[in-house]
Amino acid sequence: MKKIAIVIAILFANILFSQSTHAQDTYYQKGITYAGTSQTSSSTIVMSVAAMNSGGTKKDNVVVYSRCSIVENVYNADYCVIKSLKTTLYASNSSGTLVTNNSNMIGQVAPEQRYFESVLPDLSIFIPSYRWNLVYYAVQGIFNTGANATSIIHSNNSTYTSRSVTYNYPSANMLEVPSTIAYDRIPVYYSGKAKGVATNFLLHTGGSHFTAKAQLSYEMGRITGYYDVYRFNITSNEAKLIHSVGL
């Protein structure tokens, strides 16, 4: 009986929540960043961030694009596979505990209106965001149901001020962008198309500045003989963007 009551309560909570996301939300583009190396200028990750703040509801939309072709070129690889993507949002303008190297950030671009089809959280994937002990999350992650991956893992830091979504083996078709398209042209080039893996965050905090981060892990393989293949994991630099959620 108790179980049924809990299930009904969760269903009700989801209905309540989903009503607010039915409408189309107006997001503002906050910036596009890439993270490469100073030596080769080879960027292995591109991240685009948009945010909205309407009627007390704050949301962040973090879209990541991959550059397997650059990994192949730089490392003379015979193949490249995208192993994982980790997208994190911090409810502050600090960088948290992660080490950031060579993250190249362009200034926040002039606010530009962008429209997204709002993401209606799927019941089965939304439940893991909650815990029975009713912990207050400053940031809550919900992922775009269109993002295919072998597995998707949610995690948070010990103070519940950041939220991460890790995609293991995310769909390469969605993520990969040819190196011929400059990073700052990507969102325009693929406007309206299903490109990039989007992670949406709900921000339950009064803070005004947030930090979005993303990191990709690739596998490069090299063939020296039919039975002699060696492989290495290549972790991208970390893309980082500190931004506000207002206009």
Partner 1 sequence: MKKYAIIGFALVAVLVLSFGFEREKKLVFNEKVNLTFYEDMEANQTDLIEFNSRKFGKDLEKSSINFKINDLIVKQENADFTELNAKGQGVLHLPEGNFNFTFDGMVYEVPLSNGKVILSGGLEGEIVNKAGEDTISINLLYDYTSEKVYLGVTNGHHGELAALPFGNSKLSIDEINELNSVIAN
Q: Which residues bind partner 1 (CB under 8 A)?
A: 36-40, 42, 44, 71, 74-76, 78-79, 81-84, 101-102, 150-151, 168-169, 172, 217, 219, 221-224, 226-238
Separation CA 51–CA 58 (nearest Å): 7
DSSP code, position 101: -
- Indicate the residue among 209 and 222 with the shorter CB distance to partner 1: 222
Q: Which of 69, 81, 65 is nearest to 185 (CA)?
A: 65
- Joined together, the tokens standing for residue 89 give 């949002």
Q: Which is nearer to partner 1, 48 or 215 (CB)?
A: 215
**Nearest approach, Cβ of residue 221 and partner 1 (Å):** 7
The distance from CA 52 to its chain's CA centroid, rounded to whole angstroms, is 16
Structure tokens at 118: 């709002």
- Least distance to partner 1 from the beta carbon of 168, Å? 5
Nearer to partner 1, 73 or 244 (CB): 73
Cβ-based nearer residue to partner 1, 14 or 217? 217
Shortest distance (Å) from residue 150 CB to partner 1: 6
Residues 30 and 61: beta-carbon distance below 8 Å: no
Q: Which is nearer to partner 1, 199 or 236 (CB)?
A: 236
Cβ proximity of 235 and 98 under 8 Å:
no
Alpha-carbon distance of 46 to 156, in angstroms, equals 23
Closest CA to 60 of 141, 124, 159: 141
Token representation of residue 51: 């945010």
Q: How far is the CB of 195 from partner 1 (least distance, A)?
A: 18
CB of 177 to partner 1, least distance (A): 16
